Amino acid sequence: MAYHSGYVAHGSKHRARAAPDPPPLFDDTSGVYSSQPGGYPAPGADVAFNVNHLIGDPVANMAMAYGGSIASHGKDMVHKELHRFVSVNKLKYFFAVDTAYVAKKLGLLVFPYTHQNWEVQYSRDVPLPPRQDLNAPDLYIPTMAFITYVLLAGMALGIQKRFSPEVLGLCASTALVWVVMEVLVLLLGVYLATVRSDLSTFHLLAYSGYKYVGMILSVLTGLLFGSDGYYVALAWTSSALMYFIVRSLRTAALGPDSMGGPAPRQRLQLYLTLGAAAFQPLMIYWLTFHLVR
């Protein structure tokens, strides 16, 4: 028993000289969770702490201000570059149409032979919008006609049991690419012919896009009356569009003053106008003949 008591006393003395407990690896955050039963944080506690920390941190405030200035500068650059290549105000002009203008313009495209005055009307040296001037070119009819052509092509391919998304996509992209190429060629011709006019890319795109109206009529007639009806409609719409293009480019777009000058320049301008008009029937046929069988 004496030996046992001594052993206990010696052990107690040894434990009294043991090293202190090591510091905890993580801070005690139980106070944050004590306000909620089950040890969960109070709603918004962490968010409030982070927000207050960011607000009180001058480096964070400087970084946020610098990021905002960069975003604002980038936005201004995007708007500047956009207005550099595409003028929104000019683009709005070509879509300033109404129902009466669209109906009259479609009639003019189909039967232009009785139209007398082809001059574009001006008000204080500014051309009137299309809804106030039938001779003014627009982009509304070409845009809607292009969409209608794509839908009609899909219906024609479906009737012939040849429809597929790939074929329809190829048909739409081909029609769009050919119009873009035509506009680029016309721009090059205007530059080489040194035509003095207000003829812009939007004007050429509008005049080139009017062919979609003839394409729709040709395909629709071909679906209703067969190949014979298609070729009759093709001949009519092509001749009407050629007459419309010649009169519009010579009078409305180029203007009477641009037709003056030396004889070689006049011939170039005449060839440019006739070439643009003669190209329309070829394009209408190339983009529609495979839709009618």
For 162-180, write each residue's pLDDT tens digit.
889 998 999 999 999 999 9
Per the document, the length of the chain is 293
Asked if residues 172 and 277 have their Cβ atoms less than 8 Å apart, the reply is no
How would you classify residue 21: left for phi > 0, otherwise alpha for psi between -120 and 50, otherwise beta?
beta
The per-residue pLDDT for 102 is: 97
What residue ranges do the domains of the chain occupy? 138-289
Label the pairing between strands 126-127 and 122-123. antiparallel
Tens-digit pLDDT profile for residues 103-160: 999 999 999 999 988 988 888 888 899 999 999 999 999 999 999 999 999 999 999 8
- The average pLDDT across 38-58 equals 51
Please name the residue that has the structure tokens 């795109």.
Answer: 205
Q: What SS3 class is residue 21?
A: coil
> Using alpha carbons only, what angle is made at residue 47 by residues 44 and 52, rounded to the nearest 5 degrees?
120
Quick one: pLDDT at residue 49? 47
Better-predicted residue by pLDDT, 24 or 279: 279
3-state secondary structure 4-20: HHHHHHHHHHHHHCCCC
Say which DSSP state 41 is in.
P
Q: Are 101 and 130 within 8 A, CB to CB?
A: yes
Amino acid at 282: L
Asked if 249 and 261 touch (Cβ cutoff 8 Å), the reply is no
Distance in angstroms (rounded) separating the CA atoms of residues 139 and 144: 9
Is the pLDDT at 266 greater than 60? The verdict is yes
Quick: pLDDT tens for 187-226: 888 787 766 667 788 999 999 999 999 999 999 999 999 9
User: What's the token pair of residue 3?
Assistant: 């030996």
Contacts 24+ apart (CB under 8 A), 280-283: 280/211, 280/214, 280/238, 280/241, 280/242, 280/245, 281/234, 281/238, 281/239, 281/241, 281/242, 283/178, 283/182, 283/211
